[in-house]
Amino acid sequence: MTHASEAELQSLLPLLRQLRDIKGLREVRPGIFHCRGVAFIQLHSDGAILHAELKKGGGSGFDRYPLDTPAGQRKLVDDARRRAGHSDED
């Protein structure tokens, strides 16, 4: 499993825009976001499959999200907003 490449991230531009709009997140490298100075979201490639890892709510470990469907991407954005401490209205 490796971090998603620049070319792979091109297919996720709408998702990346949504993640970049979440207050408190900082994209330290393409596809890698920190929140409060710690790793929060990382986009990965496992063969031809793209997925994200989002820091668990309790702070220990990461949850994995498939990014091959709009529903999977929406779930990632919704959970990231909640875990970053912001509502959808922010």
Which of 37, 15, 17 lies closest to 26, judged by CA? 37
* Sign of the torsion angle spanned by Cα atoms 25, 90, 21, 76: positive
Q: What is the pLDDT of residue 59?
A: 67
Indicate the pTM of the whole model: 0.88
- Enumerate the domain spans of the chain: 2-84
Site of tokens 């710690």 = 38
What confidence category does residue 86 fall into, taking pLDDT thresholds of 50, 70 and 90? low
For helices 70-84 and 13-20, angle between their N-to-C axes, nearest 10 degrees? 10
Q: What is the pLDDT of residues 35-61, one digit of tens each?
A: 999 999 999 998 778 999 999 977 689
d(CA 4, CA 42) in angstroms, rounded, equals: 9
Handedness of CA 24, 27, 31, 37 (dihedral sign): negative
Highest mean pLDDT among 47-51, 66-70, 82-86: 66-70
